[in-house]
């Protein structure tokens, strides 16, 4: 086959983008995904926030979650955290915070120092057997995040590298850095028909051109996607087996049934009462 025919065949077989967004700004973050839009298409991935700002240090208030897990990845700068046991710490650039809320927990955080802070916070819907289960918090220093080539494995596995975090369902979540002109091909595991990417910086082609702040959803299939960096670029990629359950929403919660949401809300209210009595709210 000639070089021209090979190029045309590659373009024909490229995995198609079905949805694209630049999100909506909400103060310190840009919400790229929520359950009313991309979250319904891409579940178990239900929320994705991009934070990329210059600002002064601050500590955010404690707030509740249930029925979901969140993964915060810091690409630049540092963020603080306060876990349910009132343990406080700092997550440096390259680090990961994993919080599995289960039946319900309260936590908080903020910016450690003035200057630029960049990263993503992802929400993942939990399956029925975990949505009312126990809570867990894991904080990974940059050196503890598994890597292979240009990929940092935030959740799941890639090549010979695997995250130490136990995923609630079959999910890969990867942070990738490429230099201008470099290429990287992602072949999802069997069954990972859900696939998306979001760009933190620079420009990549898939072959459609994606820029800083873009989120795209790919068609549901088993096909690979090839990324080519037009400039130095950073992006995250998520793939998963589809979440076959409804998304029942509370103000800080996602569950599979109204009954599960009511149970969790009752539990969160009891935790709030205790936190008030302790002077933490």
Per-residue pLDDT of 69-111, as tens digits, reads: 999 999 998 888 877 777 778 888 999 999 999 999 988 777 7
Question: What's the CATH number where 128 sits?
Answer: 2.60.120.10
Cβ neighbours around 204 below 10 Å, total: 25
- Is residue 10 included in any domain, yes or no? no
Sorted by sequence, the CB contacts under 8 Å of residue 16 that are 6+ apart come out as 218, 219
Q: How many separate domains does the chain show? A: 1
pLDDT of residue 70: 95
pLDDT of residue 78: 85
- Is residue 98 included in any domain, yes or no? yes
pLDDT of residue 6: 38
pLDDT of residue 3: 41
- Is residue 3 included in any domain, yes or no? no
Per-residue pLDDT of 108-143, as tens digits, reads: 777 777 778 889 999 999 999 999 999 999 999 999
Q: Measured between alpha carbons, how far is residue 147 from residues 93, 118, 144, 155, 156 in Å?
A: 15, 20, 9, 11, 12
- Is residue 141 included in any domain, yes or no? yes
Instruction: Determine the structural domain holding residue 195 and report its residue range.
Output: 24-277
pLDDT of residue 83: 74
- Is residue 203 included in any domain, yes or no? yes
- Is residue 52 included in any domain, yes or no? yes
Q: Are 238 and 193 in contact (CB under 8 A)?
A: no
Q: Are 33 and 42 in contact (CB under 8 A)?
A: yes
- Is residue 4 included in any domain, yes or no? no
pLDDT of residue 58: 67
pLDDT of residue 102: 96
CA atoms within 13 A on the CB side of 176: 27
Phi and psi angles of residue 29, each rounded to the nearest 5 degrees, phi first:
-130, 160
- Is residue 9 included in any domain, yes or no? no
pLDDT along the chain (281 residues), means of 10: 40 78 88 94 96 74 92 90 77 93 88 82 97 94 96 98 97 98 97 97 96 96 96 98 96 96 96 85 76
End-to-end Cα distance, the chain: 68
Name the residue with tokens 């903020």: 110
Element (DSSP H or E) covering residue 253: none
pLDDT of residue 11: 44
Q: Residue 42 region, left (φ>0) first, then alpha (ψ -120 to 50), else beta?
A: alpha
């Amino acid at each position: 086959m000639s070089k021209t025919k090979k190029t045309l065949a590659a373009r024909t077989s490229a995995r198609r983008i079905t949805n694209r967004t630049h999100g909506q700004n909400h103060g310190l973050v840009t919400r790229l995904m929520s359950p009313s839009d991309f979250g319904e298409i891409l579940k178990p991935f239900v929320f994705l926030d991009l934070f990329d700002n210059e600002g002064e240090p601050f500590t955010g208030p404690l707030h509740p979650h249930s029925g979901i897990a969140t993964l915060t990845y810091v690409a630049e700068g540092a963020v603080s955290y306060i876990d349910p046991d009132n343990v406080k710490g700092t997550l440096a650039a390259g680090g990961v915070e994993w919080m599995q809320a289960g039946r319900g927990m309260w936590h908080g955080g903020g910016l450690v120092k003035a200057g630029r802070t960049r990263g993503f916070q992802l929400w993942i819907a939990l399956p029925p057997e975990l949505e009312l289960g126990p809570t867990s918090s894991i904080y990974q220093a940059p050196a503890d995040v598994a890597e292979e080539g240009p990929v940092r494995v935030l959740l799941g596995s890639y090549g010979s590298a695997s995250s130490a975090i136990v995923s609630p369902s079959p999910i890969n979540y990867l942070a990738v850095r490429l230099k201008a002109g470099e290429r990287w091909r992602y072949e999802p595991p069997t069954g990972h028909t859900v696939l998306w990417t979001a760009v933190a910086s620079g420009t990549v082609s898939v072959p459609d051109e994606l820029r800083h702040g873009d989120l795209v959803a790919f068609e549901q299939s088993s096909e690979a996607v090839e990324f080519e960096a037009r400039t130095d670029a950073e992006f995250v990629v998520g793939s998963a087996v589809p979440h076959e359950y409804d998304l029942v929403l509370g103000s800080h919660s996602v569950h599979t049934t109204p009954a599960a949401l009511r149970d969790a809300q009752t539990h969160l209210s009891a935790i709030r009462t205790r936190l008030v009595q302790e002077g933490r709210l």
